[in-house]
Amino acid sequence: MTQPSPNLLFTVLRKQPELIAPAKPTPREVKELSDIDDQEGLRFQIPFIQFYGSKASMKGKDPVEVIREALAQTLVFYYPFAGRLREGHGRKLVVDCTGEGVLFIEADADVRLQQFGDVLHPPFPCFQELLHEVPGSQGITNCPLLLIQVTRLKCGGFIFAIRLNHSMSDGSGIGKFVNALAEMANGANEPSIKPVWCRELLNARDPPRISRTHPEYEDVMVENKANGSTTPSLNDMVQRCFFFGRTEVAAIRRLVPKHLGRCTTFEFVIACMWRSRVRALQLDPDDDVRFMYAVNINAKVNPRLPVGYYGNEFVFSGAVTTARKLSENPFGYALELVKNAKTNVDEEFVRSLTDLMVIKGRPLFATTRSYVVSNTNGARLDEVDLGWGKPIYGGPAQGGTAIFSETTSLYFSYKNNKGEYVIVVPISLPAKAMERFEKELDGMLRNHSQPPQISSSL
């Protein structure tokens, strides 16, 4: 398999950004976000990217024009995206449905799709050129809620990149929007799944009451010890992607204790990553360490969220232990903590956490010595056909969330050139810790024929 040269450089010529408004008049109203949507930890922008090859049957058709027109049509149904967020009393976020539109950039790049290699994954070369940060557009309130750039390539392919205000939607929600856009691009008059707002389904109770413990939102003080802070320096961070194919997954599966019963691939891969990460950081043995991940709550709440719901439909759940316990106990200890983080989430957990947001002022989740993971496979961006077939790659544009890159990982999969699905988990660590992490991970997998593939660092 070939990968892009870390020195791959190319020029992108962009036209001036424009606002794409809904193709027809839309309601002028104010819509509240849910109390899950507007928490501090979701007030940032998250980018996704899709790479498309050329297609003979689409010769003569311009992807920029096709997508621009389809976008205007899609916004008729998803019209809140054409509005702007405002913050009200108690930091409550609402959408002012102004119909102003979303930002759209037309661009051309002097590069061919083949030059990116056949193993596409973040970080992408010259990504800032493929999704230009329009000055003044990065804010959470009073700014466009979507930024889209379509970049034509020399080979006839193109790149579709989209930046989402996370307060509005999660990966699943933006997946529904992009799929609706694809349907419009292929000639549909309306989305097959109609968007549904219903954000009140995830609002706090009246009166709100915290009925469960939520250590995910109880940060710890960083103690300065004789040898310095227990939190590692973030000045020399590097990011690398780790790949888990059938061989690597089978090797980790052999480490799963029988008493834990059935475990998902996500659970044991992430438990492996968390344990190796904590060991690599060489924290004080008595330091508390956290694992958190975004648990989908659609099956946890009653009534269930409508099929067309495109708000954030997850809560953070996790576990707290000490660096000593996680490092010195067998792998099954970490795995059990990860499994429990999911099983702890039920209807009451969701309602309690929603109430906590209101009672405690929509706080940020705990970031000190935390490892936060989001499974983005639910977005299914690798299946979106805009008329040119399915993308060569469709998924996250970054390995973690930009503002919490040192604590977060995105978990996703892609189909390699053999037609096999491979799990990708990017992680950011200080350079020395990354070296130790690779050795820890290799040590856990040393019984198979080769260590997990690793991408080059940033």
- The answer, yes or no, to whether the previous bond of 303 is cis (omega within 30 of 0) is yes
In the numeric block, the tokens 């997990």 are attached to 452
* CB burial of residue 223 (10 Å; 0-12, 13-18, 19+): exposed
Catalytic residue among 37, 121, 132, 166: 166
The sign one gets for the Cα dihedral 125, 126, 128, 131 is negative
Residues sharing a CB contact under 8 Å with residue 60, sequence separation 6 or more, in sequence order? none
Q: Which tokens is 244 given?
A: 């888990």
The CA-based angle 322-400-107, given to 5 degrees, is: 175
The CA-based angle 342-346-348, given to 5 degrees, is: 140
Per residue in 238-269, is it b (16+ CB within 10 Å) or e — as a string?
bbbbbbbbeebbebbeebbeeeeeebeebbbb
Report whether 154 contacts 111 (CB < 8 A): yes
Catalytic residue among 96, 108, 118, 385: 385
Decide: helix, strand or coil at residue 51.
strand
166 noted as active-site residue: yes
Which of 193, 378, 196, 414 is closest to 297 using CA atoms? 378
Catalytic residues: 166, 385
